[in-house]
Structure 1
Amino acid sequence: MGLISSKLLKNLRRWVVASFIGSQVCLLVGACSTKHEKPATTQLPAGVVPVRVVRVGSGYQLQRNGKPYFIKGGAGLEHYDQLKAAGANSVRLWSADYADDRMDEAQRQGLTVTLGVWLVHESKQFDYNNTWEVEQQKKAIREQVLRYRYHPALLAWSVGNEVNYESNNPLLYRAINDIARMVHELDPYHPVTSTVTSTLENFDRIKRLCPDLDFISVNSFGNLYSVADRLKREGWHGPFLITEFGARGYWESPKTGWGTAKEQTSTQKAQFARERYEKAIAGNPTTCLGGYVFYWGNKFEYTSTWFSLFTPTGEKTATVDVMQELWTGKPPRNLSPQIQELQVAGQSTLYDRQLLPDKDYSLKLIATDPENDSLQAQWQLTPDAILTDASDIVKSTPTVPIEHAIRALSMLEAVLHTPRKPGPYRLSATVLDGKGSAATIGIPFLVVSGEK
């Protein structure tokens, strides 16, 4: 090579200095590039709508097709038309088992999907020290990613759901990151996250061993208020998403003297969700990417009404009303009924109730309707589960109602005939307004040989 001219050398020095300064600014501010750059191409694969997390000022922003995209979502499998009508823009799915139908339905309704790839929780049945098992799981997930990576409704990938619970095995977290890296290689157009419990158990492992995650996701209910602060205390200053929020969880609720959980009324759940959404999700716009209210549909988890935002026949509850107001600024035209109290034998059920076996007790619901619609109650009596004795299978298996235990007297009054067998039971009522809305209440009580 020939000698470099003094002018060229001078310009070269300027370029080197400018490049160095620019690189340092990018490292400090994080605004010059995203964590995982999209490939430089003039044409995207058919159907792909690119999504990325970008640094904006001192915070972060999710962008879809280059535009800000704050997630207003529902976690569930049903009623996507009503989710869209309520002002939401996204759905959360836990696994690809039902992705074909649900992603297509989300697309039809104009909703995006955070799609979970299910990781087996570490247990006696699955060992993350077993390289063959881990590799087989990864191969299965690879096929899922290849199948859905170009779906137009895809928003993000979520690797595992709460696998941090009771597992500090470093190989589990290395497997999470290995899968996240693979997803990025197969699909450079969508971000990757992993969902952890609200306790942030073993979070140091995730922070240290999972650098290929674009953001952290958290399922949080009662302690949603403090998620942002607790993440900072754990050393996480990046973006986060709330993948489940809603009613207070049964594991964190007040208990009866005999160990069963006390459930909020649907009226209380709505206010509970409102307060936490306003403070923890909408109130953290620079670091929180949005949230998914849980559960958008009807499911049994400890009780049939605990997290369900809809009845089995499709009536919405007050949390749906609240979310529509929070998402759009306007409540729906028809609001759900409000339940104030359920009285047993003329006495409040705010306190633990112990009843005699094989005896009649009067029931009275105190409920109102915002539009003064006529209200009708549906009653149900079921065996109850003591939390310390209940396995995950018990908590997710619907209980069989006890037949002929309740006799309706009027629209909101009935008579309960207690079972002969002592033990914990749960009295449930659903109030319908006949216009597509409902309210729910569930009261635990104990049948004993002597009344207290």
Structure 2
Amino acid sequence: MIVNRDNFLLGLAGLRLSVKKIAYSIICCACLYVSVTLLSCKDEQRNSAAKVRIVQSDNGYAILRNGKVFEIKGASGTSNFQTLHEAGGNCLRVWDTLHLRQILDSAYANDIAVIAGLPIQNSDQTELYNDPIKTLRQLSKFQSVIDRHKNHPALLMWCLGNELDFPYKPSYNSFYAAFNAITKMIRRIDPDHPITTTVMNFNKKYITNIQLRCDIDVVSFNIFSNLGLLRKDLSEFSWFWNGPYMLLEWGTDGPWPGCQSTAWGAFIEYPSKKKADIILHRYRQHMPLEDPRLIGNFIFFWGSKQETTHTWFSIFDEHGRKSEPVAIMQYIWKRTLPDEHYPQIRYMLLNHKGAGDNILLNPGQTMLPELVMHDKDSVMSVNWEIFKEDWYKENGQNNTRKLIPLDTKFETDGKLTTLFKSPMEEGPYRIFAKIYDYNGNFATCNTPFYVMSDR
């Protein structure tokens, strides 16, 4: 048979092209299969609960998460997950059950574990706990929360209540029954996540009742100025209770009894620089890191919140910009300080007087506030605001919404000084200064004053 050379070469080229097409199709199918498999695995992982246990060994207590030791580097707050991860943190304690799915998803995306709070009513709410229908309604509400989120891989454990009271008296039996009904429900439908509860400071009576009357895995404390007493308290009570514990809130002192205040009862807030110094000092001197019973601690507050002022505990401003405690926590968690700079305020003066000088003003009086800085050359801008003192309470609880600043005209004399006229209405106020540097970081301070009227 005689084969035309040109036809042969043309056929050979076509064969090669067909082989390439087949190979390309095989590669595309393989890539598609791998992609689908990876996405399927990721979705499966997202819907797979992390199995968490608290275990005891010769070295003390530890958290096991999916079989591996999980060392908590924690913060209590609501947001700023990426910054938490970048600073070296790995766990966030939250109280928002309404947006819990969104919080868990954001935490998972940033490799953050979550302790989810369940806001159970305190034991003094006898109207609730003596009513079986209301108690059952509370149980049902929390069961739906557990059911919705128990399989999320970011979930670490549940915290039942915040700063609860655990009294001795038999009249509180209905509270204990309701508390234990919730823990029993959690153990039944979500055995993969431990349970904790939180009390304010170290309280022997409460710890005793928790141990004798409740079923939880770890006791947690919110502790601030009393952190320096914790080692002694733990040692003296170890004959009765020697179990694991966490500190779910610690940091600088809050606007509570014992805090320095003015003659009219306005608590005096430290500048953010001094707060950062207090946080570092308390961690170095008083955090019982050597105690094998301590399985985690959480700085307060990783976010922005109103508590007497909108700056008292807020490590971030409302736009997510950072203050110096972020750098302190990075040093604690990673043992390295960030390269970026933070502005540092020493104090504020108002007509040459400090916050502790009980500043009394006349209505419409011209005032000269000035800031004294450690590093004034780094200041990019200063935002001055005046607020009424936040004394509003509802059902005995402090206001949690940021107040609206007064419409005040500031005549800027320089970055660190300004002029304003005091309000015409009698009452307590605060002047706030928020300083931003060229990195976008901020520092805050405020000074309380009182306007007195002759009318």
Give the Cα–Cα distance (whole angstroms) in 2 for the partners of residues 166 and 345 of structure 1: 50
Distance 1:60 1:428, change over 3 A: same
Q: Determine helix, strand or coil for the equivalent of 1:193.
A: strand
Q: Which secondary structure does the structure 2 equivalent of 1:262 belong to?
A: coil
Residues 424-443 of structure 1 aligned to structure 2 (within 5 Å) = 424-443=428-447
From 274, 290, 293, give the equivalent of 2:299.
Answer: 293
**Alignment gaps of 5+ in structure 1:** 1-43
Which stretch of the first structure deviates more once superposed, 273-282 or 145-154? 273-282
Q: Is this contact kept in 1: 2:93–2:115, CA < 8 A?
A: yes
CA distance in 1, matches of 2:363, 2:113: 52
1:260 is aligned to 2:258: no
Amino acid at match of 2:440: G
- Normalised to the residue count of structure 1, the TM-score between the two structures is 0.83
Structure 2 residue aligned with 1:374: 379
The residue that corresponds to 2:399 in the other structure is 395
Which of 190, 195, 220 is the matching residue for 1:192?
195
Contact 2:123 2:165 in 1 (8 A): no
Summarize the Cα distance change of 1:310–1:64 in structure 2 as closer, same or farther, 3 Å threshold.
same
1:330 partnered with 2:333:
no
CA separation in 2, counterparts of 1:384 and 1:167?
Answer: 38
* Aligned equivalent of 2:79: 78
**1: CA distance, partners of 2:398 / 2:97:** 25
Unaligned runs of 5+ in 2: 1-44
C-alpha displacement at 1:432, in angstroms? 0.5
Instruction: Give 2:181's aligned residue.
Output: 178
Partner residue of 1:246 out of 251, 260, 268 = 251
| Corresponding position of 2:324 | 318
Q: Where do residues 46-445 of structure 1 align in structure 2 (5 Å cutoff)?
A: 47-57=48-58, 59-122=60-123, 126-164=127-165, 169-198=172-201, 200=203, 202-210=206-214, 212-231=215-234, 233=236, 235-252=240-257, 253-281=259-287, 283-369=289-375, 372-385=377-390, 392-445=396-449
Q: CA deviation at 1:331?
A: 1.2
1:376/1:95 CA distance change after superposition, 3 Å: closer
Shift in CA distance, 427/334, structure 1 to aligned 2, threshold 3 Å: same
Shift of 1:227: 3.2
Counterpart Cα distance in 1 of 2:423 and 2:140: 52
Q: Is the 8 A contact 2:202 2:221 kept in 1?
A: no
Cα pair distance change 1:77/1:319, threshold 3 Å:
same
Cα deviation for residue 408 of structure 1 reads 2.3
SS at match of 1:379: strand
Q: CA deviation at 1:146?
A: 1.7
Q: Which moved more, 1:272-281 or 1:312-321?
A: 272-281
3-state SS of the aligned residue for 2:281? helix
Q: Please say if residues 428 and 441 of structure 1, whose CA atoms lie closer than 8 Å, have aligned partners that are also in contact.
A: yes
Amino acid across the alignment from 1:146: D
Once the two structures are TM-superposed, the CA of residue 399 in structure 1 deviates from its matched residue by 2.1
Shift of 1:206: 1.9
Cα distance, 1:447–1:191 mapped onto 2, change above 3 Å? same
1 or 2, which has the higher helix percentage? 2
Counterpart code for 2:108: Q
Shift in CA distance, 107/190, structure 1 to aligned 2, threshold 3 Å: same
Letter in 2 for 1:102: I
| C-alpha distance after superposition, 1:266-291 (max 9, x if no partner) | 11111111222234446244111111
> Could you tell me how far apart the structure 2 residues matched to 1:318 and 1:111 are?
22
Q: CA deviation at 1:354?
A: 1.8
Return the alpha-carbon distance in structure 2 between the equivalents of residues 390 and 384 of structure 1: 15
RMSD: 2.5
1:117-153 CA distance string (max 9 Å, x none): 2212345685212222212211221221122111111
CA–CA distance in structure 2, aligned partners of residues 270 and 165 of structure 1: 33
Tell me how far 1:159 sits from its aligned partner. Answer: 0.9
TM-aligned CA deviation for residue 340 of structure 1: 0.5
Distance (whole Å) between structure 2 residues aligned to residue 188 and residue 79 of structure 1: 30
- Give how far 1:228 is off: 4.5
Percent identical among aligned pairs is: 29
Contact 1:157 1:191 in 2 (8 A): yes
What is the CA deviation profile of residues 249-301 of structure 1, one whole-angstrom value per residue up to 9, with x for unaligned ones?
Answer: 10141111111111111111111112222344462441111112121111111
Partner of 1:164, secondary structure, is coil
Query: Shift of the alpha carbon at 1:218?
Result: 1.3
* Count of paired positions: 404
Once the two structures are TM-superposed, the CA of residue 392 in structure 1 deviates from its matched residue by 4.5
Query: Residue 352 of structure 1: CA displacement?
Result: 2.3
1:396-449 per-residue CA deviation (whole Å, 9 max, x = no partner) reads 232221112533222111113111222211111111003121111021111225
